[in-house]
Homo-oligomer: A and B are copies of this chain.
Amino acid sequence: MMIMLFELVFIGFGTVARGLAELLLEKKEELKSKYDMKYQVVAISDIRVGSILDGRGIDLRKALKLADAGENLESLPAQRKGLSAIETIKESHSNAIVEATWTNIIDGEPGYSHIKTALSLGKHVVTSNKGPISLHYRELMRLANNNYVRLKFKGTVLSGTPAFNLFDGALAGCSVSSIRGIVNGTTNYILTEMEKGLDYKKALKEAQRLGYAEADPTMDVEGGDAAAKIAILSNVLLGANIKPDMVKRKGISSITKEEVLGARKRGDRIKLIAGAEKKDNTIKAQVSPVPLPVSDPLANIMGVMNAITFETDCLGNFTVVGPGAGRRATGYALLTDLISIAKS
């Protein structure tokens, strides 16, 4: 077995990237002994905590500590400081980029440019950024193939919880005809709280207080986030070529407490379901609140938990349940992507 040495660049060093950094430090020995994978971080570039590049390697433990304390990384020794993200990608002697900047599902920027630049230069990319992947999947995959590198993005759907990556491994040879999932933890949390008798506004406030919902919750509550995720799932698993704005969607902001409790009385639960189905070679994808009988595994997914049911030709229905967000869970998604590149 050949050793894979990753010379890594972090573009974006927020929560998720730091989740990966933590796991890389924690599992350094295991990665080497079990997966023949070694790494060295040669650059970190982040608009908040600064930008450092050093071909001889950066002390990841120190960088993580500084970033977690909200301090600037440029106090660390480094050959070059203050480079932009694009400059960092271009000027680092790296073979893999961790793209973990913010999500933008209008045009995918700045992640889209970061990923394109990296792939064009023959660098592998791992990312949890839904923007560029949901908008430019085919183009970016083609670019990766043409440059003989890999683009991996497990973290865009269900964080590190196995989802489409199952079909490369444990579900190899199995094909999917439909997908139904709870892929947004914020809305599932709100619906769970509404079952307890809270109205929508109060449940949203509670979600915001706990950090599950953003100050502007539109992307979550109107189904935009779920639409991006079902677009990604459809493109990867059903061979579709759709973008988030082609997904028919309805959010949960107009759902009343009475509707939620009424469904409960009938033995159902209202869930925001992202679904996609292949029929006669066309793919239909949608996001909408649906009353599910409690016998449906998805009906019992509570709080911020996520789940997906895949309808397959070999197994019938198969469901995964796990976290859909979080520093460690999403950092772990990036780690599985790196391990999968190291193995191939």
Contacts and interface: CB of A to CB of B under 8 A. Distances in A.
Given A161-B315, A300-B294, A173 B323 contact: no
A297 B321 contact: yes
Oligomer copy total:
2
Nearest to A30: B173
A23 B312 CA distance: 13
B314 A23 contact: yes
A168 B316 CA distance: 23
Contacts of A168: 169-170
A254 interface: no
Interface string A288-326: 000000110101111000000000001111111111000
Interface stretch (A206-214, A241-249, A335-343): A335-343
Contacts of A343: 172
B172 A170 contact: no
A170 to B, nearest CB: 4
A180 interface: no
B162 A166 contact: yes
A295 B302 CA distance: 8
A117 B225 CA distance: 55
Interface of A: 23, 27, 30-31, 34-35, 159-162, 165-166, 168-174, 294-295, 297, 299-302, 314-323, 328-329, 332, 335-336, 339-340, 343
A170 B168 CA distance: 8
Contacts of A328: 314-315
Contacts of A31: 173
Contacts of A171: 162, 336
Contacts of A321: 297, 318-321
Chain A interface secondary structure, helix, strand, loop or mixed? mixed
Given A300-B294, A300-B297, A300-B300, A170 B336 contact: yes
Contacts of A299: 300
Contacts of A340: 169, 172
A95 B23 CA distance: 40
B170 A35 contact: no
B174 A332 contact: yes
Contact of A319 (B159, B169, B172, B322): B322
B314 A160 contact: yes
Given A162-B162, A314-B332, 12 more contacts: A162-B318, A166-B170, A168-B169, A169-B170, A295-B300, A297-B300, A314-B329, A316-B329, A318-B323, A319-B319, A319-B321, A320-B320
B336 A172 contact: yes
Contact of A335 (B173, B319, B339): B173
A168 B168 CA distance: 11
A17 B159 CA distance: 36
A318 B314 contact: no
B315 A329 contact: yes
A31 to B, nearest CB: 7
A172 B169 CA distance: 11
A254 to B, nearest CB: 27
A332 B170 CA distance: 11
